[in-house]
Amino acid sequence: MEFNYTILILLLPMLSFLVLGLAGMRMKHKVAGAIGTTVLGIVAVLSYLTAYLYFGNGRSADGTFAPQTPWNFEWLPFTTNLHIDMGILLDPISVMMLIVISTVSLMVHIYSFGYMKGEVGFQRYYAFLSLFSFSMLGLVVATNIFQMYVFWELVGVSSYLLIGFYYTKPEAIAASKKAFIVTRFADLGFLIGILIYGYYAGTFTFTPETKMLVAAGGMIPWALGLMFVGGAGKSAMFPLHIWLPDAMEGPTPVSALIHAATMVVAGVYLVARMFPLFIVYAPDVLHWIAYLGVLTAFYAAAVACVQTDIKRVLAFSTISQIAFMVVALGVCIGADTHEGLGYMAGMFHLFTHAMFKALLFLGAGAIIHAVHSNEMSAMGGLRKYMPITHITFLIACLAIAGIPPFSGFFSKDEILAACFQFSPVVGWMMSIIAGMTAFYMFRLYYGIFWGKENKELHAHHTPHEAPVSMSFPLIFLAAVTCVAGFIPFGNFVSSNGQSYDIHLNAQVAITSVCIAIVAIVLATIMYLKEQQPIADRLAATFKTLHQAAYRRFYMDEIWMFVTKKIIFRCISTPLAWWDRHVIDQFFNFTAWSAQASADEVRGMQSGRIQSYCIWFLVGALVFTLMLLLI
């Protein structure tokens, strides 16, 4: 088998995790970082090689790229039918994800050299990065839904570990717990979905027998819907998005890798993976997912317009962009390349978004590194001090805003075209949200690089350009962002595997570009200058709305209310009472009675021969009496 080496893509990061995790503290920072980065470099090379060989092999007779499973072994054999396998599945989307993950992960590894320099726990950081890379790669190459679930939880754990990397900071601990609990809660739905799926489809693989699925009838939509609950948790869909903005407490490169480019698109990947089933057996569920995506995209874009913490803005922009991908998948109305345009568009956007969003986060990291603050008020006028960061950040902003010729334009155009094809209402809404995207991204851009300089902050610390280890990934990703749009993506990934030539939908393209330009101009008028009278006046006029958006429309408060006031008070408190007073007391009683009787029995063991004799005598008398009486 020519793809046998792909096992190395998984084994190397795991090995690196073990080495760095067990022996890392005895290494120098540089050695530990070099091990992690080298391993990821090898993984990236192998991933590119895999993509080259896989797509270079050509299509099989039916015009698709045949899926390959170079490795698949029975991990947990329960019965002959029910067994959980572990393996590697190569098909267009998993190969595409391998490239995304290994590229972004490698860039983040290099970048962290500069960003995390001198941090306590540098080796631990690299160990966790390796663990994350291993889990994420394992997730995308999973041959069956259960393997996916196992790695799904592993990425959850590594995300938890990395968000809580600064474990002496209370906010970081709270954020890591929040992320873990929220996603874990959502994963309960995923697990139930998997079990229903496994029961009715009779297999955990992605290609069950058609007759089983037909026999299952109404249960398959339930299974897929529940699986999407897990996906919504990981991909921060409304209302399970609350963990993602808080997750920004982690180191910025981690946010770039996990909470922007790779892990949070796992939900999208899950839907794409189950897409053949969705489109045939549960198109309604798919469309509901699309509506949820529209809601999420709008909500997150609205919140992003007023946040002041640059990482929070990026976090909400991530939520919004992931919702774009989800919408794209949800608006598919058929499996062929034309009706399933959204599938290709969603995957394309996943690919381009991973690159430019990682770039945005890494740029934000460079800025935070320079000014030692996340708040926009500490920034302003940074373009003079940080030219490379400025240019790359601008490229990423243009890409996410959907300005040609940057990559985001092409993928977003396909998404919008797919939306218009589904329904004009959704299409227009998504166009407006795309405009909002352009607006808040340029608000962020002007807030950081233009506007008022914070002189007093700069007086004792002049911002400076990031070191080479940090600017190289920026330049690399910016270059990718410039050219990625021209990749004939539809030739590699499409809803039914057939080749699809992307052709720009002129009407949609012109509309979306116009909206984006208007939004950018609006942002320029409002935020370019040192004084921002229009923005201030708007904020003052719509004070309630502004405040509500700033507080993220009180979603956290609502969740706090639901958990604390309803779940804790009505369910947990009585359960705790029952546990403490009935169950615990019952076991306390058994323990107490055992102890009391043991005390009694122990008293007989006095060691005094005479008391033993008395017991002997009593026993003898009792037996005599029994003999006499019976």
Residues making contact with other proteins (CB under 8 A): 605-610, 612-614, 617
Residue (211 or 608) nearer to other proteins, CB: 608
User: Residues 623, 624, 626, 630: what is their CA dihedral angle, to the nearest 10 degrees?
Assistant: 140
What is the closest distance, in whole angstroms, from the C-beta atom of residue 21 to other proteins in the complex? 48
Task: State the Cα–Cα distance between residues 499 and 338, nearest whole angstrom.
Answer: 11
Residue (167 or 616) nearer to other proteins, CB: 616
Task: State the Cα–Cα distance between residues 31 and 17, nearest whole angstrom.
Answer: 14
Residue (82 or 622) nearer to other proteins, CB: 622
What is the closest distance, in whole angstroms, from the C-beta atom of residue 586 to other proteins in the complex? 32
What is the closest distance, in whole angstroms, from the C-beta atom of residue 579 to other proteins in the complex? 38
For residue 541, what are the β-bridge partners? none
Amino acid (one-letter) located at 471: S
What is the closest distance, in whole angstroms, from the C-beta atom of residue 615 to other proteins in the complex? 11
Candidates 519, 374, 333; CA nearest to 438 is: 519
Residue (518 or 620) nearer to other proteins, CB: 620
Residue (486 or 616) nearer to other proteins, CB: 616
User: Residues 142, 147, 150, 152: what is their CA dihedral angle, to the nearest 10 degrees?
Assistant: 30
Task: State the Cα–Cα distance between residues 484 and 487, nearest whole angstrom.
Answer: 5
Task: State the Cα–Cα distance between residues 453 and 477, nearest whole angstrom.
Answer: 28
What is the closest distance, in whole angstroms, from the C-beta atom of residue 154 to other proteins in the complex? 52
What is the closest distance, in whole angstroms, from the C-beta atom of residue 593 to other proteins in the complex? 23
Candidates 145, 302, 115; CA nearest to 227 is: 145
Residue (585 or 606) nearer to other proteins, CB: 606
Q: Is the dihedral of CA 286, 92, 86, 132 positive or negative?
A: negative
Residue (76 or 622) nearer to other proteins, CB: 622
Residue (168 or 605) nearer to other proteins, CB: 605
What is the closest distance, in whole angstroms, from the C-beta atom of residue 613 to other proteins in the complex? 6
Task: State the Cα–Cα distance between residues 311 and 249, nearest whole angstrom.
Answer: 9
CB atoms under 10 Å from CB of 468, counted, come to 13
Which three-class secondary structure state does DSSP give residue 351? Answer: helix
Residue (483 or 618) nearer to other proteins, CB: 618
What is the closest distance, in whole angstroms, from the C-beta atom of residue 617 to other proteins in the complex? 7
Task: State the Cα–Cα distance between residues 439 and 451, nearest whole angstrom.
Answer: 16
Amino acid (one-letter) located at 274: M
What is the closest distance, in whole angstroms, from the C-beta atom of residue 599 to other proteins in the complex? 15
What is the closest distance, in whole angstroms, from the C-beta atom of residue 602 to other proteins in the complex? 10
Residue (592 or 616) nearer to other proteins, CB: 616
- Is 219:200 a contact under the CB 8 Å cutoff? yes
Q: Work out the angle at residue 240's Cα, subtended by the Cα atoms of residues 235 and 243, and round it to the nearest 5 degrees.
A: 80
For residue 375, what are the β-bridge partners? 309
Residue (533 or 607) nearer to other proteins, CB: 607
Question: What is the Cα Rg of the chain in Å?
Answer: 29
Residue (503 or 608) nearer to other proteins, CB: 608
What is the closest distance, in whole angstroms, from the C-beta atom of residue 616 to other proteins in the complex? 10
What is the closest distance, in whole angstroms, from the C-beta atom of residue 595 to other proteins in the complex? 18
Query: For residue 479, which phi and psi values (nearest 5 degrees)?
Result: -65, -45
- Is 434:508 a contact under the CB 8 Å cutoff? no
Q: Is the dihedral of CA 292, 298, 303, 304 positive or negative?
A: positive
DSSP 372: S
Burial of 26 (0-12, 13-18, 19+ CB in 10 A): exposed
Residue (210 or 606) nearer to other proteins, CB: 606
What is the closest distance, in whole angstroms, from the C-beta atom of residue 195 to other proteins in the complex? 54
Residue 57's alpha-carbon distances to 4, 68, 352, in angstroms, are: 15, 11, 24
Give every CB contact of residue 527 below 8 A, 6+ residues apart in sequence: 442, 443, 446, 447, 450, 451, 535
